[in-house]
Structure 1
Amino acid sequence: MKKSQLFVLSMASGLLLVASWPVSPFTFCIFFAFVPLLWVAHSTTKIRTFIGFAFLSLLIWNVGTTWWIWNSTELGSIAAMIANSVLMCIPLWGYFKLRNKSNSLLSYVGWIVYWMLFEWIHLNWQLSWPWLTLGNVFATHPNWVQWYAITGVSGGTLWILLVNILFFQLLQKYKREKSFPAALAFAVAAAVAIPLIIGYLSIPAVTNHQPNYNVVIVQPNIDPYQKFESLSTQTQIEHLIHLSDSAINPQTVLVIWPETALPEPVIQQELNNSSIYRPVLQFVQQHPKLTLLTGLESYVLYGNEKATPTAHALPNGQYYDAYNSAVVIRAGQPNQFYNKSKLVPGVESLPTFLNFMGPVFEKFGGTTGGYGRDTAAVVFTETNNPYKMAPIICYESIYGAYVAEYVKKGSNLLTIITNDGWWGNTPGHLQHLDYARLRAIETRKFVARSANTGISAVIDPAGRILTQTKYNQPALIRYNIPVTSGHTFYVKWGDWLYKMAAFMALLV
């Protein structure tokens, strides 16, 4: 093929990937989005040529689906999209090299397991950015993938790659023989249809159980760019309390405020003595049966010892860690804290191997040392409260295996607190909401989602959104959320399919 034809094919793959991604209605395009790129691989013998065109496809995909990052960090968004596109080229490089050294079957197996190994690594290393994990593409169609309760999103990735390979084989056969082989055409249809049928047959029944207790979810709609600059903490707290008071009733046992709803940093051990948060404590005292779960900015002092790798030094020689935290506050009970563990690379944390670039990251919205973090999931439990809460903070909700750890530790309600307003009214906050639907399926737990500017929602264990707010409006949800028991296969075994793919990649 001419380079102009290869260019068109690589563009087509990138655009099909964009067209398939949430919140686009053309999800089905994902089943043949890689076919043009596979055609490029089979039309050139030069690795540099193929990788150049592959990078173009992947860059179009990254820019076309995550361009909204620009609204919060300009230089950072460019760096993230280019870096992610380069990393995605690695499994394709492996596939191309293998194709030139072995038969087609082994090279296809290699591509599948290399890509799945890449996704697994991208979920777990210090520059983790799994927003474009292929299995996330079905987030707007939860009925298609009810079997994520067994496989997690890795099952969706396997499905997509397999169908793309079969489609490509079908087109190759047609080009050579000018007809579609019946057996191969049937295989393509079956590969698409069987998982869909299993998904629809696996939808859990709608529960009619209405408990005699409820949850109030608060969406204060505070501009995140004013939250830490022009709006006073007192004004924000008054607004949150006013909204909460207008919604709670005698059956309310849990009130949820969003990420960093308490924006003034406070020492965790001294929260109850903080004058600025006295109205919050008084609000809780006035409702002794109520538990408040909220996000806050906090820090912990360590004295003269650098207790953690992320600890910062004060001028007096003492060390501290700053945290993006969640806390539950209840009258007469000690406060429980959880510090966000899955931090946004570059903005909330800096990989240790990039510490020398700290001043650069700081200029586009990050920190030179980053936030401190907890090393494991923490479950909040309170006496006489039926909910065992998983305090999932923002970005953490895209990590299926990590969310499953909360449930493994006893959580019966996934509480997601987030502040999606940094991106404005773009597909970013909609994608983030839809990804939460996948966490509900994987764990078969209800999700209560409190977002500062929206969208807040209640999601059932089948990934159905039962109620939601509008974006960029102060809003409240009061909902009688049932609790569910038991563990799914995915909760018990986590990313088992990724681990199998990693082992197979080593064998290949």
Structure 2
Amino acid sequence: MKSVLYRLPFPAWPARFRNLLRPGWLGDVLSGAALALLLFLPAAAGILAPLPLAALHRRLARSPNSRMAFRHAFTFALAFFALHLAWLPLSMAGILGPLGGALTVLVLPAAALTWAAPLALTRWVFGARTLLALPFMWVILEALRAKGPLAFPWGAPGYALTDTPLAPLASLGGVSLLTLLVTVTASALAALGSRRHPGVVLALLAVWSVALLWGWRGAPAVPPPTRTAVLVQGAIDPRVKAQGRTLEELNVYLGLTRRALGRGPADLVVWPETASPLPASDPRVLGPLRNLGVPVLLGAPGDVPGQARNSAYGVDGRVTGRQDKRVLVPFGESLPFAKALGFLYTPLLSRLGMPGYISATPGRALNVLPLRDLRAGVSICYESVFPALSRQTVRAGANLLVVMSNDAWFGRGPGAEQHFRLGRLRAIETGRYLLRAGNDGVSAVVDPWGRVVFRAPRGERAAYRAPFGVASTLTPFVRYGDWTLAGSVVFLLALLHGRFRGMKKLEVPGPWLIGGEDHALGRADHAEDRY
């Protein structure tokens, strides 16, 4: 009996082969993986980020219902985070053992859910106007991901533009504006995939032309780097520190600092997060720091009795100020919902070898640390991925941004590089130089355009002299805040009002009306949506 395959007409073979290679789930997986790669590749590659998002937007808009839209969005997001955060379970397994690594894998579907649920909701609420609504929903969902005890804003699409000529747009509207540009472009491309529309092409070209023009000409001038900082990398294994802090750690940093100052004067010394085992107010720390004769910023435990605080101190002959870490790493420095979930945490922490673990106490106050004519706005590690914190410090008078970090927990994988890349955008948003000191890197200086002026080799135990400058002008983002988010909320409310009240002036003709029960382009072929 001949196989039925031989009875298929020849013209059907190419279509069957394409369908075999491009089932719905595979297209979502490939698109999500492509976006993850573009978020990490250097230079101009990030400009291509709208392409994989366009594939997702088109699938969402053409989905026959919100359930199918959720499947597309979740598959896309899971593929994205599985690649983007692949380093996280691996690094935690090296620190906490196989159980710790396995538990960290749960972060991937949880993070995927924070994308999939809002995107599917957009399809359900806006129907045929899904493509028009999606870019503004992206801005809102990324803002929500930065709130609450589970805040984790890793992976926002706007960060794909960090190394492109479009990055200076962040001085206008922060990373939210970059996310809006990427996702608006994705929706426009998705619309062109259904029916070519000259108006969309012209609008897209106009938006990108204005964005590029601002990036080249509109961003403020960069103050010259006329000062010198000493960035110190102690390269102390965090697992050794976790077993018990000793004064030897302090001696390592003091020795490295003295050698760097012996090569010439400096305006500021920066040590990383938790560099000192004792608070800077302790005489065993304050005395040697005073003898350096140079202003010092250092990470150390807080000096509030009975509380575990992760703090940054300014020292210039005396302690000039302290900033406590305000945003703690979920499950790393804090146990979210500890009162309700204590029955789970207690046995789990015992299995992980941390039976006495307690959450750190978050800081509440904002303190700009004064050091002679420098006013440093300090972010401690994880805080550097939250734009609002850096904006607050500049509005409070900071003329310099400083990031203290200990990314040695991440190992030598891409985690530390991602962390550095996300934090670089704070320099553009605020128009300030950013000094970064890491335990084993990344230690660097970033100018107000986001360019890396100096970068130290990772993993070395050394102190590095690097140039920096100060600035006092306020960018539009600092002056007006996250107006992109506010505008996105207003736009979606207006669009929703128009959908249910029949406001014809909000109807957008042509390629934006795709998907849903009121499909504007005729009945879509949903064969590719069937898994």
TM bucket by the smaller chain? 0.7 to 0.9
Code of the residue aligned with 1:401 in structure 2: it is A
Deviation of 1:352 (Å):
3.3
Secondary structure of the residue aligned to 2:267 is: strand
Alignment equivalent of 1:190, drawn from 203, 206, 226 = 206
Alignment equivalent of 1:220, drawn from 234, 243, 250 = 234
Q: Indicate conservation of the 8 Å contact 1:420/1:429, yes or no.
A: yes
Alignment equivalent of 2:114, drawn from 75, 82, 87 = 87
Deviation of 1:322 (Å):
0.7
**Residue deviations 1:416-441 (CA, integer Å, cap 9, x gap):** 10011111111111122222221111
Alignment equivalent of 2:169, drawn from 147, 152, 159 = 147
Deviation of 1:394 (Å):
0.4
Secondary structure of the residue aligned to 2:445 is: strand
Distance 1:53 1:462 in 2: 36
Question: What is residue 8 of structure 2 aligned with on the other side?
Answer: none
Deviation of 1:354 (Å):
6.9
The structure with more radius of gyration: 2
Indicate how the Cα distance of structure 1 residues 365 and 132 shifts in structure 2: closer, same or farther if over 3 A, else same: farther
More divergent stretch after superposition (459-468 vs 15-24): 15-24
More divergent stretch after superposition (11-20 vs 394-403): 11-20
1:284 matched to 2:289: yes
TM alignment of 1:403-414, pairs within 5 A:
403-414=390-401
1:380 matched to 2:369: yes
Question: What is residue 243 of structure 2 aligned with on the other side?
Answer: 229
1:446 matched to 2:433: yes
Alignment equivalent of 1:172, drawn from 194, 200, 219 = 194
Question: What is residue 307 of structure 1 aligned with on the other side?
Answer: none
How many correspondences in the alignment?
463
1:371 matched to 2:371: no
Indicate how the Cα distance of structure 1 residues 491 and 94 shifts in structure 2: closer, same or farther if over 3 A, else same: same
Alignment equivalent of 2:140, drawn from 117, 135, 140 = 117
Structure number with the bigger relative contact order (C-alpha 8 A, sep ≥ 6) is 2
Alpha carbon RMSD of aligned pairs, Å? Answer: 2.5
Deviation of 1:139 (Å):
2.1
What is the identity percentage for the equivalent residue pairs of Structure 1 and Structure 2?
25
Question: What is residue 410 of structure 2 aligned with on the other side?
Answer: 423
1:74 matched to 2:135: no
Deviation of 1:254 (Å):
2.0
Secondary structure of the residue aligned to 1:259 is: coil
Task: For structure 1, list consecutive stretches of 5 or more residues without a partner in the other structure.
Answer: 174-179, 302-319
Deviation of 1:474 (Å):
1.7
Distance 2:168 2:346 in 1: 45
Distance 2:258 2:399 in 1: 26
Indicate how the Cα distance of structure 1 residues 432 and 63 shifts in structure 2: closer, same or farther if over 3 A, else same: same
Secondary structure of the residue aligned to 1:34 is: helix
Distance 2:458 2:353 in 1: 24
Q: Indicate conservation of the 8 Å contact 2:268/2:295, yes or no.
A: yes
Alignment equivalent of 1:342, drawn from 306, 327, 342 = 327
TM alignment of 1:25-174, pairs within 5 A:
26-70=45-89, 71-72=91-92, 73-100=100-127, 103-104=128-129, 107-141=130-164, 143-173=165-195
Q: Indicate conservation of the 8 Å contact 2:295/2:315, yes or no.
A: yes
Deviation of 1:144 (Å):
1.5
Alignment equivalent of 2:274, drawn from 260, 263, 279 = 260
Q: Indicate conservation of the 8 Å contact 1:291/1:328, yes or no.
A: yes
Alignment equivalent of 2:282, drawn from 272, 284, 289 = 272
Deviation of 1:371 (Å):
0.9
Question: What is residue 315 of structure 1 aligned with on the other side?
Answer: none
Deviation of 1:208 (Å):
4.1
Distance 1:131 1:361 in 2: 26
Indicate how the Cα distance of structure 1 residues 441 and 282 shifts in structure 2: closer, same or farther if over 3 A, else same: same
Q: Indicate conservation of the 8 Å contact 1:94/1:114, yes or no.
A: no
Code of the residue aligned with 1:328 in structure 2: it is G
Question: What is residue 310 of structure 2 aligned with on the other side?
Answer: 324
Secondary structure of the residue aligned to 1:228 is: helix
Task: For structure 2, list consecutive stretches of 5 or more residues without a partner in the other structure.
Answer: 1-17, 93-99, 497-531
Question: What is residue 17 of structure 1 aligned with on the other side?
Answer: 35
Indicate how the Cα distance of structure 1 residues 90 and 148 shifts in structure 2: closer, same or farther if over 3 A, else same: same
Q: Indicate conservation of the 8 Å contact 2:114/2:145, yes or no.
A: no
Deviation of 1:234 (Å):
2.6
Distance 2:381 2:348 in 1: 21
TM-score, normalised on structure 2?
0.81
